Amino acid sequence: MPAWIPGGRVSGPSLASRRMAPRRESMRLTLWLQGGDGVPRRMDVPLATLALAVLCIAACVAASVEFGIQSQARAATLQRQTQRLSAEASAGARAEGKLSQLQQQAAGLRKTLNTITALDGQVRSEAGAPASGTAVQATAGLSATDPAVSHLDAASGVLRKLQQAIPALAHDVKNLGHSMTGWTADAAHTPSIWPVRGPITSPFGARLNPLNTSQSQIHTGVDIGVVVGTPVHATAAGTVAFAGWNNIYGNQVIVAVGGGLDTMYGHNSRLLVRAGQAVVKGQVLALSGDTGWSTGPHVHYEIDINGQPVNPAAYLPGYAEVAGGGAS
């Protein structure tokens, strides 16, 4: 430490010693820059500052590169997500369109199935045929009130069931058509209508002989009272086995309907068919009269099976409502 000495001087290192001490200066980079006035100017940049600047620039470049890489990665990820969402949206639209198409097809098939089932039931009901088990099985769980199917797999399943049901029911209806041919033929050749409409003046069975009340007899048919000239209809289709005169039944028509069954119409005033002629159910065979052994205008209607008379009442709809007493 410097000390004061007499005379006001301070003791310490001499000026010469100070001049001889080395100066510690930082390393610098000298740059000469051309000014706007054309005069070169010197710029001294410390190397430490330059190194720091270089480090900062490198850090910025590295950060920029990292940010760019991350940005590209995010952009690629976003692009993939966008493509996936677009593909899912397209698939969803296709599935929705397919679902709508399946629902429309299912509705059309269900309508067809219901129509066929209704017709099948109506025909069978009118023909007196048994119900179709195939129709019931085919339509099980497929009624017109089914809730709307909102899933593609479920809609496809319903469509498959409907597509399987249609051929099965169509086959059953085809068989019904073949059966109907037989039923129709049987129905046509089965007596089921009245030859004329009128009161029953003498039923089938035991009775007193109307021409000789002291004698009893078996009445082999039913007598239906009508005025002379009433059209007499065939109660079943068949072939005329006889059309001519009979001493008991007067002008008589016998129609062989098949299977050993014959229908007979007696006491007619006029015959309109001849032997060997084919007739259909409901065809007019004759005009009623009072010929043969008769006590008044009427039609004697008789049904024979294998030559044996049976009660026609079973073949006359509503017979009990019109049955009456009397002798003819």
Q: What is the pLDDT of residues 300-310, one digit of tens each?
A: 999 999 999 99
- What was the pLDDT predicted at 285? 98
- What was the pLDDT predicted at 298? 95
What spatial distance separates the first Cα and last Cα of the chain, rounded to whole Å?
Answer: 178
Total residue length of the chain: 328
217/85 same-domain check: no
Span 267-278, mean pLDDT? 97
- What was the pLDDT predicted at 23? 52
Tokens coding 2 = 């410097």
184/207 same-domain check: no
Specify if 296 maps to a domain.
Answer: yes
122/229 same-domain check: no
* pLDDT higher than 80, residue 136: no
The domain tally of the chain equals 2
pTM above 0.95, yes or no: no
CA dihedral of 62, 65, 70, 72, whole degrees rounded to 10: 180
Flag the least confident range among 15-19, 118-122, 233-237, 247-251. 15-19
176/209 same-domain check: no
51/184 same-domain check: yes
DSSP label of 289? B
Cβ-count burial 254-269 (b if 16+ within 10 Å, e if not): bbbbeeebbbbbbbbb
Specify if 123 maps to a domain.
Answer: yes
205/313 same-domain check: yes
* pLDDT higher than 80, residue 196: yes
Q: Which residues contact 116 (CB under 8 A, 6 or more apart)?
A: 135, 166, 169, 170, 173
Percent of the chain with pLDDT over 90: 33
Specify if 218 maps to a domain.
Answer: yes
* Of residues 120 and 270, more confidently modeled: 270
Q: Side chain identity at 284, as an amino acid letter?
A: V
176/213 same-domain check: no
Tokens coding 216 = 């009893």
Span 67-77, mean pLDDT? 77
Please state, rounded to an integer, the average pLDDT across all residues of the chain.
76
d(CA 83, CA 124): 60
231/176 same-domain check: no
Range of the domain at 113: 47-188
- What was the pLDDT predicted at 19? 52
Given the DSSP bridges, would you call strands 261-271 and 231-233 parallel, antiparallel or unpaired?
unpaired
d(CA 195, CA 222): 11
Specify if 315 maps to a domain.
Answer: yes
Span 26-30, mean pLDDT? 68
Specify if 5 maps to a domain.
Answer: no
* pLDDT higher than 50, residue 66: yes
d(CA 32, CA 36): 13
147/251 same-domain check: no
- What was the pLDDT predicted at 145? 42
Specify if 8 maps to a domain.
Answer: no
- What was the pLDDT predicted at 104? 72
* Of residues 126 and 141, more confidently modeled: 126
Structural domain ending residue among the three candidates 141, 157, 188: 188
Flag the least confident range among 71-75, 180-184, 257-261, 294-298. 180-184
